[in-house]
Chain A
Amino acid sequence: MLDFRLPAPRLRHALLAVLASLLAGQVSLAQAELSEESARILASMAPGAPAPIAGELVHIPPTLEDLEASSLHPELKRVIRRGHDIFTNTQQYRGKYVYNELNCDSCHLGAGRVPFSGPVWPAAVTLPDYRPKNDHVNNLEERIAGCFSYSMNGQPPAYGSDEMLALSNYIQWLARGVPMYPDAKLYGRGYPRLAYAAEQPDYQRGEQVYQNQCAVCHGNDGAGLATRGETVFPPLWGDGSYNWGAGISRVFTLASFVKHNMPLGQPNTLSDQQAWDVAYYVDAQERPQDPRYTGDVEQTRERYGDTFHKHSLYGLEVQGRRLGDHDNVGEKDFLKPEALRSRSFD
């Protein structure tokens, strides 16, 4: 039987910690490179988060107030505001582009500006780039199409459409002033991997964490909470949630999201062990099929194992049931959007 096991915590992490403290002098140097204003904002915008280390590129994305105050063309401002509006209220496209209860900012908190919450500006300065997930070079629109296809369990807006323009314009504007293809490591990018905890992630412990820390908002059954026709707390599994191909269906991604962002308003309060355990528990629940499904869950897991599913519980038997062994695609009536296509320059 296939099994999900993380490597044992390695000495490397301990060594890194020692090294980091030895380099403490450089740490303060790196912080000194930040403007006083940036350092102040960073401290309050990422409470409890790791501080920047030497050589990291720290970027504080502009706010909508900065946009209004800028000298950009009024029509450009309108497009950027439209992108922000789509990003924070993606549900306006429910049943068209979005087939679950999520918004972009369900996972990219603070309208995509917050470090350690998958801030979106790095996409603007690192793409086009080769992406192992689909084994070709992706531009920003293709990257956004991936979010719609997997995380929103939906159908991306057409390439070159008004919605794509607005979203990519918003994301690029958030990267204002950052050089293209920067050499430096980007501070707070993505959901940085947590150190492995002392114990392997555990379903029962994860369930305890879930009931104690998450259920008050997301419900005992993970279905979230909707009221007056609007989602307040998004579903974490089931038809209303992301599908088995979403990045956050990987245990390490969810563990990092949880650690750095949850419970809402209380980032970095759970232990690494709690974050791994609850991520394992949530990933051990059922959700809509991976759009890359071949018709056979084991084959799909195998085909996308190295680049993806070795990090998820998809296709594994947990608590007596094999996850992802179904043809339920959720609210939509197709498996894979046509926009997802490969390309090669061979």
Chain B
Amino acid sequence: MSKRHTGLAALGACLLACSIGLSAEPIGDPAQGQAAAAICASCHQADGSGMNIPGAESWPRLAGLDASYLAKQIRDFKSGQRSSPTMQAFAQMLSDEQIPHVAAWFASLPAPSLPSAEAHAPALLERGRQLATEGDWDNYLVPCSSCHGPDNLGAGAVFPAIAGQHPAYIRDQLLNWQKGSRQNDPQQLMATVAARMSADDIQAVAAWLSTQPGATEQKPE
């Protein structure tokens, strides 16, 4: 097979794979999702920026996250596969048809700059930066970015953006994975990593990620 033919075959395979991938997840329409998303605004805010609430259930920012990831989370809340009494109740209010539209609406919103609600010690932030970008292989902690993508701004439909997320939310989720009260990750990929993190590691990585831009356009030149 010539190089050109291999290229065409690869392109064909890609188009096929892409269309299969899309058919698995219905494409949402942001415009149709906007009205239904009103029920989310009391916590996640109309602009999807959420709220950091240390000591209670924080409301994650949804703006700019991947639509397929968001839709899966809503469905998992609805089915109980991801557990949250609050979110289970709200997810029940959305029909299966509405879910992709609501997800598409929040995905279409620009990631907000988060207010720096918590002050963090430089050493804590440095540890967080190390974990998020280089990992700590002596403890087999792979860097967050090895799955969550460049600048931890997400990779594909499975690995969400975690940079520019509220620190209390990230912290709570990592603790949930440690406790086993969150289990909706594929192949326990997140649970295995979370299990190796110390309480200080979790504080550090949550703090550092929250100080990072939530979108590429916010990166300083």
The answer to whether the Cβ of A263 comes within 8 Å of any Cβ in the partner chain is: yes
Q: Which residues of A contact B188 (CB under 8 A)?
A: 266
The answer to whether the Cβ of A265 comes within 8 Å of any Cβ in the partner chain is: yes
Q: How far in angstroms is the closest Cβ of chain B from A86? A: 15
Chain A, residues 40-52, CB within 8 Å of chain B (1/0): the string is 0100111100000
Chain B, residues 128-146, CB within 8 Å of chain A (1/0): the string is 0000001101111010001
- In the complex, how many residues of chain B place their beta carbon closer than 8 angstroms to a beta carbon of chain A? 36
A109 and B137 contacting across the interface, CB-CB below 8 Å: yes
Closest A residue to B194 by beta carbon equals A265
Q: Which residues of A contact B149 (CB under 8 A)?
A: 227-228, 230, 232
Q: How far is the CA of A219 from the CA of B139 in the complex (A)?
A: 28
Q: How far in angstroms is the closest Cβ of chain B from A240? A: 9
Chain B, residues 18-39, CB within 8 Å of chain A (1/0): the string is 0010000000000000000000
A221 and B13 contacting across the interface, CB-CB below 8 Å: yes
Q: How far in angstroms is the closest Cβ of chain B from A334? A: 13
Q: How far is the CA of A327 from the CA of B2 in the complex (A)?
A: 7
B189 and A44 contacting across the interface, CB-CB below 8 Å: no
Residues 88-131 of B contacting A (Cβ, < 8 Å): none
B138 and A44 contacting across the interface, CB-CB below 8 Å: yes
Q: Which of A3-11, A110-118, A197-205 binds B?
A: A110-118
Query: Of the candidates A60, A326, A329, which one forms a contact with B1 in the assembled complex, judged by CB atoms under 8 Å apart?
Result: A326
Residues 312-344 of A contacting B (Cβ, < 8 Å): 326-329
Residues 193-221 of B contacting A (Cβ, < 8 Å): 193, 196, 216
A230 and B150 contacting across the interface, CB-CB below 8 Å: yes
Q: How far in angstroms is the closest Cβ of chain A from B36? A: 28
B140 and A267 contacting across the interface, CB-CB below 8 Å: yes
Closest B residue to A330 by beta carbon equals B3
Q: Which residues of B contact A264 (CB under 8 A)?
A: 142, 146-147, 189
Q: How far in angstroms is the closest Cβ of chain B from A111? A: 7
Number of A-B contacts (CB under 8 A): 92
The answer to whether the Cβ of B79 comes within 8 Å of any Cβ in the partner chain is: no
Q: Which residues of B contact A34 (CB under 8 A)?
A: none
Q: Per DSSP, are chain A's interface residues mostly helix, strand or loop, or mixed?
A: loop
Closest B residue to A216 by beta carbon equals B186
The answer to whether the Cβ of B42 comes within 8 Å of any Cβ in the partner chain is: no
Q: How far is the CA of A216 from the CA of B13 in the complex (A)?
A: 17
Q: Which residues of B contact A110 (CB under 8 A)?
A: 135, 137
Closest A residue to B148 by beta carbon equals A232
Q: Which residues of A contact B10 (CB under 8 A)?
A: 223, 238-239
The answer to whether the Cβ of A225 comes within 8 Å of any Cβ in the partner chain is: yes
Q: Which residues of A contact B53 (CB under 8 A)?
A: none
Q: How far in angstroms is the closest Cβ of chain B from A171? A: 16
Q: Which residues of B contact A326 (CB under 8 A)?
A: 1-2, 6
Q: How far in angstroms is the closest Cβ of chain B from A45? A: 5
B138 and A63 contacting across the interface, CB-CB below 8 Å: yes
A44 and B155 contacting across the interface, CB-CB below 8 Å: no
The answer to whether the Cβ of A92 comes within 8 Å of any Cβ in the partner chain is: no
The answer to whether the Cβ of B181 comes within 8 Å of any Cβ in the partner chain is: no
Chain A, residues 278-294, CB within 8 Å of chain B (1/0): the string is 00000000100000000
B155 and A227 contacting across the interface, CB-CB below 8 Å: yes
Please list 28 pairs of residues, one from A and one from B, whose beta carbons are closer than 8 Å in the complex, sorted by A's number: A44-B139, A45-B137, A46-B140, A109-B137, A109-B142, A110-B135, A111-B134, A111-B137, A114-B137, A213-B187, A216-B186, A220-B17, A221-B13, A221-B17, A223-B17, A227-B156, A228-B150, A230-B149, A232-B146, A232-B147, A232-B149, A232-B156, A265-B142, A265-B189, A266-B187, A266-B189, A328-B3, A328-B6
A47-B196, A327-B3 known; 10 new pairs, CB 8 Å cut-off, are: A63-B138, A110-B137, A111-B134, A114-B137, A239-B6, A264-B147, A265-B189, A267-B140, A326-B6, A328-B2
4 shortest interchain CB distances as A-B pairs: A110-B137, A232-B155, A230-B150, A328-B3
